[in-house]
Amino acid sequence: MLKAILFDMDGVIIDSEPLHCKAFQKAMKQFGLDLSKEYCYQFIGNTDRYMVDVLVKDFNLPNTSEEVIRTKQEVLNQLELEE
C-alpha cells in the first residue's frame, strides 16, 4: 500500500535557484551592492537567512537581516509575477 509520495522539487522538477539569485541581485542593488551570480551560487542549498547574515557581515551593511530578507522576498514575488 502506498503511504506517501515524495517530490524532490528544487533542482529536479523545477530549478528556482536562478530566480532566487536574480532576486538577491536586484534586492542588493537597492542596498548599493552589485552581486555576481558566482557570489549568489556559493549559497545554493542554504537558507536566505544564512546568505543574508553573511552578506550583512561581509559587506558591513547597516541594514538588519530582516530588512534585507523582506526586500529580497518582495523582489522575488514581483519576479514570479513577471515570469
pLDDT in tens, 56-74: 899 998 888 999 999 999 9
Longest dimension (CA), the chain: 55
pTM across the whole model: 0.80
Residue 18 in grid coordinates: 536562478
Residues 6+ apart with CB under 8 A from 83: 19
Distance CA 3, CA 62 (A): 49
Domain ranges of the chain: 17-82
Round to whole Å and give the CA distance between 60 and 33.
11
Give the relative orientation of helices 65-82 and 17-29 as an angle to the nearest 10 degrees: 120
17-82: CATH class:
mainly alpha
Report pLDDT digits (tens) over 45-59. Answer: 899 999 999 998 999
